[in-house]
Amino acid sequence: MSDDVFLRVNDVSKWYGDEQVLDEVSFEMDRSDVTVLIGPSGSGKSTMLRCVNRLAEAQEGSITLDGEEVLSPDTDVDRLRREVGMVFQSFNLFAHLSALGNVALGPRRVLGLSAAEARERATSQLERVGLADQLESYPAELSGGQQQRVGIARALAMEPKLMLFDEPTSALDPELIGEVLEVMRALVDEGMTMLVVTHEMSFARAVADEVVFLDDGRVVERGPPEQLFERPEKERTGRFLERIASHD
Amino acid sequence: MSAPGSLALAAADSLGALAPSTAAGETPLTAATVGSVSESIDWWLVGDPADWWFVLRNVDYLGGGLLLTVGLTVASILLGFLVGFPAGAVEVYGDGRWKRLVETVGVVLRGTPIVVILLVIYFVVGVPQVNLGIGSISPAVSAGIAGLGLRSAAYQSQIFRAALGSVDDGQLEAGRAVGLSRFESIRYVVVPQALRRSIPGFQNEFTIVLKDTSIVFAIGLAELLTRGYDLFTQQTTAVLEVILFISGIYFVLTFTTNRALDYLGTRYAIPEGEST
């Protein structure tokens, strides 16, 4: 069966010991789609995200990315990750490298570019996220918002075909969230395919093609944001959205 | 004059001056004796000029010992690093048989007195004479390097195990996420950070190995301290002078190398910025 779907997550289940954290999760994305995973903490959304680049291993189900089976034991995991960018909640910038060094490491060591080429690519990616003036700064010298933008540039420098965002703004002070969301919006406008775990509902509403609501490792409901946010079909979805809204 | 005696009395004297009530109350005799003797001390020079002259006449002999001390230290630290760093990495990242093997060897080496390690290597295992282009290393020196080096490896492995383990897991994960293999992530992301964190522990280890080289007397080698011992058994009045002279050398060695490592730590420190 030929498959035009870019990312297909099909009945993915995962257990940590006896505890089931994902229970037959399914959704699809087309190229240039933005899908946002929402749900209470512990609902499995970060784990789901990490299964896509195999930082976590799903035990059942299948994930196909651009026609290739992700979960197969034969999959070259390093190549998969080269093509899938990831942005972490806690940034995880390489602490001993400057912003430039952080972004250049992948192109240099994974893609095999020369030092000069890697540097050039890193510089342009840092310019892209508005950090042209911080090339030589080290992570500890940067604000949280700047660090996360370096994290995005680091992932973009590998020219990924899919970007994963794992609560990219959850560790940030409120006043720094905007600059990161702005960079992400620009990516959406450029047509980047993005799978995003976030609690930023206004961001989800504005840019998502589909919102997937997870609870207890299960997909409770999924649909376009206007439908899911305005007319949730399931009672649980509505309760979750109300709780979130009361804190906004 | 008996130099150690006069120094001890001088020390007692200053103690007495600092706490006269205690000293006078508990040991009145000492306080009284010190008062009379202290006048005969040459305050401009600790020890006796004749004994210092004896030390200087034998400076070549001590220099030979110094060479052995430095050679043993450098070679042992190097061997300890070359074996200890991979061993520490195996303890952190390895699993199964290799990890258990490394851990067991480490526990045995750290739990065995260094004299026993040296005797076993020299007399039981046996070490051949090693011929280099410019000269040869005697079996005793080879055994000394092997023994001190392996024990240092066992300790250095723990320094590096702690340093590697202290680097946040997220660093390795971020390396994997850009497509670096596990080995590359460790090599390019974790190790550079761990090496910086291991400098203080390494300074300790270096200092300990330097001073422990004297233990090779057990296999017949005479390095700096053993040669000093040799000297003051020949001229028993020169104990203080010999010990002070040798201590000075040890101090210069430990001080300069520790400062050099301090410099290395500062030079490669990760910029912190102002705390926000």
The interface predicted TM-score of the complex, written ipTM, equals 0.91
Q: Residue A185 falls within a domain, yes or no?
A: yes
Say whether residue A239 is in contact with chain B using an 8 A CB cutoff. Answer: no
Minimum Cα–Cα distance from B194: chain A residue: A96
Which ranges in chain A belong to alpha helices (H)? 45-52, 77-83, 99-109, 115-128, 144-156, 174-189, 201-207, 225-230, 235-247
- The whole-number average pLDDT for the span A12-20 is 95
Per-residue tokens: B140: 């005793």
Partner residue opposite A106 with nearest CB, options B178, B196, B270: B178
Average pLDDT, chain B: 85
pLDDT score, position B40: 54
Name residues whose C-beta falls within 8 Å of residue B121's C-beta, 6 or more positions apart in sequence. B127, B143, B146, B147, B150
Find the distance separating the first CA and the last CA of chain A, reported in whole Å: 45
Flag if A53 and B170 touch (Cβ within 8 Å): no
pLDDT score, position B24: 41
Q: For residue B26, is pLDDT > 90?
A: no
Q: For residue B228, is pLDDT > 70?
A: yes
pLDDT score, position A38: 95
The single-letter code of the amino acid at B102 is: V
pLDDT score, position B100: 96
What domain range includes position A179? 7-247
Q: For residue B33, is pLDDT > 80?
A: no
- Tell me the count of A-B CB pairs closer than 8 A: 77
Q: Residue A116 falls within a domain, yes or no?
A: yes
Tell me the chain A residues in contact with residue B272 when contact means C-beta distances shorter than 8 Å.
Answer: 138, 140-141
Beta bridge partners of A222: A212
CATH number at residue A12: 3.40.50.300
Per-residue tokens: A20: 């089931």
Q: Residue A44 falls within a domain, yes or no?
A: yes
Average pLDDT, chain A: 94
Flag if A55 and B177 touch (Cβ within 8 Å): yes
Work out how many domains chain A is built from and give that number: 1
Q: Residue A182 falls within a domain, yes or no?
A: yes
pLDDT score, position B129: 75
Minimum Cα–Cα distance from B174: chain A residue: A92
- Label the pairing between strands A7-16 and A210-215: unpaired
How far apart, in whole angstroms, are the C-alpha atoms of residue A216 and residue B108?
A: 49
CB burial class (10 A; 0-12, 13-18, 19+) of residue A60?
Answer: middle
> Tens digits of per-residue pLDDT, A94-149?
999 999 999 999 999 999 999 999 999 999 999 999 999 999 999 999 999 999 99
Say whether residue B184 is in contact with chain A using an 8 A CB cutoff. Answer: yes
Task: Report CA Rg, chain A.
Answer: 18
At residue A198 the predicted structure's pLDDT band, cuts being 50, 70 and 90, is very high
Q: Give the CA distances from residue B78 to residues A16, A21, A31, A105, B96, in Å, rounded to whole numbers and listed in that order.
A: 44, 49, 55, 30, 28
Range scoring the smallest mean pLDDT among A96-105, A223-232, B24-33 = B24-33
Q: Residue A177 falls within a domain, yes or no?
A: yes
pLDDT score, position B138: 86
pLDDT score, position B2: 43
How far apart, in whole angstroms, are the C-alpha atoms of residue B182 and residue B188?
A: 10
pLDDT score, position B247: 94
Q: For residue B16, is pLDDT > 80?
A: no
Q: For residue B156, is pLDDT > 70?
A: yes
Say whether residue B258 is in contact with chain A using an 8 A CB cutoff. Answer: no
Spell out the domains of chain B, with CATH numbers in brackets: 3-46 (no CATH), 68-218 (1.10.3720.10)
How far apart, in whole angstroms, are the C-alpha atoms of residue A185 and residue B191?
A: 36
Q: Residue A2 falls within a domain, yes or no?
A: no
pLDDT score, position A104: 97
> Tens digits of per-residue pLDDT, A57-84?
999 999 999 999 999 999 999 999 999 9
